[in-house]
A and B are shown apart, each in its own frame.
Chain A
């Protein structure tokens, strides 16, 4: 399995602040993903990347942006947080040797006041 790290685990922040959620993996996987999960709901893909300098929007529209400058790092940024951004954000990477099976980080719970 991949080692996926997400920081912070919990974040409470005021409206209008800029935030960056960090995601790193140590397995050298090219493909990485960000999902948004509201409480008690399914996961929705908001961003994905096939490698360095590759980013794509997912199925669910999101005001967040991502970057992929290094293989191991895939941060997500909200330029101006709003209460509607309150959610859990999960990062994943996929293993090409296992049919691109996705492995997830522990998630970041974001609360925007």
Chain B
């Protein structure tokens, strides 16, 4: 069965600093990969997704993610965070050609002034 690991439960960064959130997956083939963000009391918003092709994908709000097949990773990055980026971030995977998502446990991001 596929699984998703987000090793960092909680990350605190200063406003303006760079950010990297880690995501590792376990699956026999390259799955579809997603990053979602959830603000308090809200649903999930899609930040970006990877299906195939260029391994560096750009998303909304200045986020990007890089797929590394050799490391089974799909880490999310942002060069300079803003206070509004404080939220919970979820990595998710779906088998190729299958829409059923498996989510990681999430990483809570706190921004300090």
Contact = CB atoms under 8 A, between A and B. Distances in A.
Contacts of A31: 99
Contacts, number: 51
A6 B2 CA distance: 29
Nearest to A107: B43
A90 B43 contact: yes
A21 interface: no
Interface stretch (A69-77, A79-87, A96-104): A96-104
Interface of A: 1, 4, 6, 31, 40-45, 48, 58-59, 90, 92, 94, 99-107, 109
Given A42-B105, A48-B100, A101 B34 contact: yes
Interface in B16-51: 32, 34, 36, 41-46, 49, 51
Contacts of B94: 100
Contacts of B43: 4, 6, 90, 104-107
Contacts of A107: 41-43
Nearest to A43: B103
Interface string B83-113: 0000000100010000111011110100000
